[in-house]
Amino acid sequence: LQCINPNVEVWLTKKGFNIYNRYDLTRYQEEYQLHPLQLIDIKAFMGDTADGYPGVKGIGEKTAHKLILKYQSVENVINHIDELTPAQQKKIISQLDDLKLSKQLAEIHTNVPLDVTALFNQMQYH
């Protein structure tokens, strides 16, 4: 979903293989009140066991969403750590390295040099 922009929309299967949720930039922002790139910050807090990055143990989706709604980014949460609850402060401070690493790992890099002509030339069609 973080790849959604004015030129990219994402379709997620909702039920079976014929019902989809279509997300364009407008729908995503209306539904989540965030820019799609802020999903990186939310996932940094939550972690992702399937992708192998830890996040901050004890901070789930709801808390991560609230923090990013209020502070906009991981960096701003850290800059305003004194405004958080003592429990949140403790979790974040004790896992700060994991949080920073998780943000790096959560980001999908879209500017990867790729020679698509060479790839297409190697493809075989049947």
For residue 123, the model assigns a pLDDT of: 80
- Tell me, yes or no, whether 30 lies in a domain: no
- Tell me, yes or no, whether 76 lies in a domain: yes
* 106 DSSP 8-state letter: H
The boundaries of the domain holding residue 75 are 36-106
- Tell me, yes or no, whether 49 lies in a domain: yes
93: domain CATH number?
1.10.150.20
- Tell me, yes or no, whether 124 lies in a domain: no
For residue 126, the model assigns a pLDDT of: 62
Q: In this structure, is the dihedral angle defined by the CA atoms of residues 3, 75, 97 and 60, taken in order, positive or negative?
A: negative
- Tell me, yes or no, whether 100 lies in a domain: yes
CA geometry: angle at 43 spanning 48 and 89, to 5°? 105
- Tell me, yes or no, whether 102 lies in a domain: yes
Distance CA 55, CA 86 (A): 18
Query: Number of folded domains in the chain?
Result: 1
CA nearest to 32, candidates 48, 108, 40: 40
- Tell me, yes or no, whether 77 lies in a domain: yes
The tens-digit pLDDT sequence of the chain (126 residues) is 999 999 999 999 887 778 899 999 999 999 999 999 999 999 999 999 999 999 999 999 999 999 999 999 999 999 999 999 999 999 999 999 999 999 999 999 888 888 888 878 888 766
